[in-house]
């Protein structure tokens, strides 16, 4: 089968691009011919490159250009199915598929088509479940309001086109539920794939706890620092960058936290080393993560995860079996669960083993590729 994958950005830009490349490799192993259309090259795959869009997004112009570009690729390569993997290429892919008389699959990986702010969060960081003009005015700053209104109007107009795709994929139950609230129904939930690494445990003294993610309020980093301050005999590694870096460094200085290391941004091959040396991984987001890749990656390395009991995270961590789920603002709850793992090595190893089993069974790229093959065959 000839499948055209579409994604806007180059490999390494973000999680969507990594997940798409992994799926393409899984399908290639199963004998399918995968061709990619993107603004960047994807080694190992024939790639058609389209031009980058203007910084000021002219959505309707972009969609017309991309639908024409993709239509030409479909005709030239005699494509059977087009599969759009990100928000920037979804509309153009649907239009091109209809124009060329082939089937389309579209992938929803975040809240972009649901919320003008792409977060489903109000300005006070509370969840918003009913996006309308009244709520939009409440949660938009003066500078941000023109953009939010522009995107709000665009989203309202584009949803009928989204419904015309043949299959809609959501990477988690929480995204599927959000799509339903916008009357985009019947999405199939299939998680992002990952490759399961051979475990090489790192030799080290003491207990290492790791946080991996952007240093932003909604990732819960400040809450977890309050917890780490009260836990004895551990080292805490922070991997990532973001707007809270200055505040985090100040907190570390003010509380004399000599056991905390800020490692900044790391490429994935270095992050794998962090997973290997960690004894516990924390995922303290205060918003509904669309998926929760950090939790799955940690599980695949045989590490117990303590995560927030909201969003995509709660669909990944099995409380008491692969880690623990805690209310994101329950500081005592976080302290208790982390301390429990710090003091009990056997429990850490038990939860880690179970997490790895589940990662192998449910998130392995070979399993995910087989699921998509079934969808394509239908």
pLDDT attached to residue 141:
84
Q: What is the pLDDT of residues 102-137, one digit of tens each?
A: 999 999 999 999 999 888 877 766 778 778 888 888
For residue 201, pLDDT over 70 is answered with no
d(CA 298, CA 275): 6
Confidence of residue 245 (pLDDT cuts 50, 70, 90): very high
Confidence of residue 144 (pLDDT cuts 50, 70, 90): confident
Q: What is the pLDDT of residues 250-282, one digit of tens each?
A: 999 999 999 999 999 998 789 989 999 999 999
Q: What is the pLDDT of residues 279-334, one digit of tens each?
A: 999 999 998 899 988 999 999 999 999 999 998 999 999 999 999 999 999 999 99
CATH 3.40.50.2000 fits 207-362, yes or no: yes
Q: Supply 9's token pair.
A: 């950005």
For residue 232, pLDDT over 80 is answered with yes
pLDDT attached to residue 202:
65
Q: Higher model confidence: residue 27 or residue 121?
A: 27
pLDDT attached to residue 18:
87
Indicate the average pLDDT of the chain. 93
pLDDT attached to residue 56:
67
For residue 101, pLDDT over 80 is answered with yes
CATH 3.40.640.10 fits 2-193+365-377, yes or no: no
pLDDT attached to residue 345:
95
> In the predicted model, what is the mean pLDDT of residues 75-80?
98
> In the predicted model, what is the mean pLDDT of residues 208-236?
94
Residue ranges of the chain that CATH labels 3.40.50.2000: 2-193+365-377, 207-362
Confidence of residue 13 (pLDDT cuts 50, 70, 90): confident
């Amino acid at each position: 089968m000839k499948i055209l994958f579409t994604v806007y950005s180059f490999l390494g830009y973000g999680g969507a691009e990594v997940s798409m490349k992994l799926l393409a490799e899984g399908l290639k192993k199963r004998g399918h011919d995968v061709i990619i259309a993107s603004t960047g090259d994807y080694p190992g795959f024939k790639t058609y490159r389209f031009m980058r869009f203007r910084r000021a997004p002219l959505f309707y112009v972009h969609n017309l250009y991309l639908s024409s570009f993709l239509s030409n690729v479909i005709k030239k390569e005699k494509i059977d199915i087009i599969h759009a993997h990100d928000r920037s290429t979804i509309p153009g892919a649907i239009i091109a598929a209809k124009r060329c008389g082939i089937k389309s699959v579209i992938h929803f990986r975040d809240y972009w088509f649901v919320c003008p702010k792409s977060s489903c969060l109000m300005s006070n960081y509370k969840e918003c479940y009913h996006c309308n003009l009244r709520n939009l005015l409440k949660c938009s700053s003066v500078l941000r309001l023109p953009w939010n209104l522009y995107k709000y109007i665009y989203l309202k107009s584009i949803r009928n086109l989204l419904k015309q795709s043949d299959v809609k994929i959501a990477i988690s139950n929480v995204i599927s539920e959000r799509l339903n609230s916008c009357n985009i129904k019947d999405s199939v939930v299939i998680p992002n794939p990952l490759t399961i690494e051979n475990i090489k445990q790192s030799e080290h003294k003491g207990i290492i706890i790791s946080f991996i993610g952007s240093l932003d309020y909604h990732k819960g980093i400040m809450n977890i620092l309050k917890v780490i301050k009260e836990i004895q005999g551990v080292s805490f590694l922070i991997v990532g960058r973001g707007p809270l870096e200055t505040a985090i460094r100040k907190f570390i200085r003010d509380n004399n936290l000599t056991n905390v290391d800020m490692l900044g941004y790391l490429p994935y091959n270095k992050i794998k080393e962090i997973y290997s040396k960690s004894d516990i991984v924390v995922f303290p987001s205060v918003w509904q993560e669309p998926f929760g890749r950090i939790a799955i990656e940690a599980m695949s390395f045989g590490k117990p995860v303590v995560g927030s009991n909201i969003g995509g995270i709660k669909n990944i961590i099995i409380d008491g079996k692969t880690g623990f789920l805690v209310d994101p603002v329950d500081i005592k709850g976080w302290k208790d669960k982390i301390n429990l793992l710090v003091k009990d090595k056997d429990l850490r190893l038990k939860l880690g083993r179970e997490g790895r089993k589940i990662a192998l069974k449910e998130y392995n790229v070979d399993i995910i590729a087989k699921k998509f093959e079934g969808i394509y065959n239908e």
